[in-house]
Amino acid sequence: MMICHGHGAMRCRGIVKNRKAASKQGVRANKRSGALLWETGMTAIYYLAVDGGGTNTRARLYDESDKLIGEGLSGSSNLTLGSDIAGPAIAAAGDAALVAAGLQPGAKTRIRAGLGLSGGNIPALADSIAAFPFGYGALTVTSDAVTACLGAHAGEDGGIFILGTGSQGLALVGGKETSVGGWGFALGDDASGAVLGRAALRAALLSVDLLGPVSDLTRRLLAHFHDDPNEAVIWARTATPRDYGRFAPLVFEAAGGDVVADHLIAGATGSIVAMLDRLKDLGAPRIALMGGLAEPYRPYLPVRYDEILVPPKGDALAGALTLAKRGR
């Protein structure tokens, strides 16, 4: 987790280099530690909660009484895509929330932001996005799994498994957070929409060479590329995880009789079971499935998980708000 303070969110661990500037922004510099301390009586404080993944970036802006005053939406901010892509997407969502709240850009210095981002569990990626010049007065970066878990269990012990464009599990037990998976599209993200969509397209191309079964699903996937495998290959050269994830719903639509779809879901379900078992071993007393594919996968999971799987109390944005307020 990366915590930054100060104008532009560029100074980390609360270091203030310009005390006069901090004073003008309604911020008092602690002479002993150099940390930024907000004077609640001097100026209003706002909290920005951000949830960023492979599909989109959502932002909610709250006032000091936890009243929602603005929301924003933008494109993908998966950190594995690079800060040059994720940074502008996060900034755009935050700016949209600011505009919706009727606030001027200068209010950014009075914002404490909590960012839960896909890929935020990788220190180098978290450091990179923390250095992006958002302009917020304080910034805390962590993975979207951490904020999802904070929201799902209202800060209590528990685990989550996110099934969206990417995938990641997390256990928060006794104040200790342990990630499971979440290594990105190239090396991980088992059972995610992106990985499931890619597997479906691979199966479709295998069917062309009669190296795999032909089914309604493979025919439908090939039709997307005008029944031309070469077109699919060209498309794949620039395809993002989000692009692959768009094919995942077709797999669930075909399941229940389509040999290819059923095989793909069985394999993905096996990966989910392994993740859930690991979270139980880590001591998670309850686990919430989250993300756009949580509901489609649920009927395929063994009944032995019925007692431990619970609906989330809140979403990742609720957890990001908690993160923004805690600052850690």
CATH number, domain containing residue 147 = 3.30.420.40
Specify whether 34 is located in the same domain as 142. yes
Interior CA angle at 9 toward 8 and 13, to 5°? 145
pLDDT > 70? residue 39: no
**178 shares a domain with 306:** yes
Confidence band for 110, pLDDT divided at 50, 70 and 90: very high
Confidence of residue 4 (pLDDT cuts 50, 70, 90): low
Q: What is the Cα–Cα distance from 280 to 66, expressed in whole angstroms? A: 33
The answer to which of 33-47, 82-96, 144-158, 289-303 has the lowest mean pLDDT is 33-47
Task: Assign 111 a pLDDT band (cuts: 50, 70, 90).
Answer: very high
- Domain check: are 131 and 216 in the same one? no
User: What pLDDT is attached to residue 55?
Assistant: 82
pLDDT of residue 295: 95
Instruction: Show the tokens assigned to 318.
Output: 């609720």
Residue 6: the pLDDT is: 46
Confidence of residue 129 (pLDDT cuts 50, 70, 90): very high
**Whether 145 and 251 share a structural domain:** no
Residues 159 and 42 in one domain: no
Residue with the bigger pLDDT between 25 and 53: it is: 53
Q: Are both 166 and 307 inside the same structural domain?
A: yes
182-231 confidence digits (pLDDT tens): 888 999 999 999 999 999 999 999 999 999 999 999 999 999 999 999 99
Q: Which of 2, 110, 58, 51 is closest to 319 using CA atoms? A: 51
- Supply angle C-alpha 291, 296, 298, rounded to 5: 90
219 and 124 housed in the same domain: no
Same domain, 9 and 38: yes
- So what's the pLDDT on residue 160? 95
Q: What is the mean pLDDT of the chain?
A: 87
CB-based contacts of 307: which residues, under 8 Å, 6+ apart? none
Supply the range of the domain harboring residue 73.
2-151+316-326
pLDDT at 44: 82
Q: What percent of the chain has pLDDT over 70?
A: 87
Q: 135 and 161 share a domain? A: no
What pLDDT, on the 0 to 100 scale, is given for residue 36?
Answer: 35
User: How much is the pLDDT for 328?
Assistant: 61
Q: How many domains does the chain have?
A: 2
Do 225 and 241 have their domain in common? yes
Query: Could you tell me how many helices (H) and strands (E) the chain has, helices first?
Result: 12, 13
pLDDT of residue 1: 61
So what's the pLDDT on residue 28?
35
| Same-domain check for residues 71 and 203 | no
pLDDT top residue among 4 and 264 = 264
Is the pLDDT at 156 greater than 50, yes or no? yes
Task: Say yes or no: 56 and 106 in one domain.
Answer: yes
pLDDT at 182: 81
Asked if 139 and 148 touch (Cβ cutoff 8 Å), the reply is no
Query: pLDDT band for position 148 (50/70/90)?
Result: confident
Cβ neighbours of residue 25 under 8 Å, at least 6 residues apart? 7, 109, 110, 137
**pTM of the complete model:** 0.69
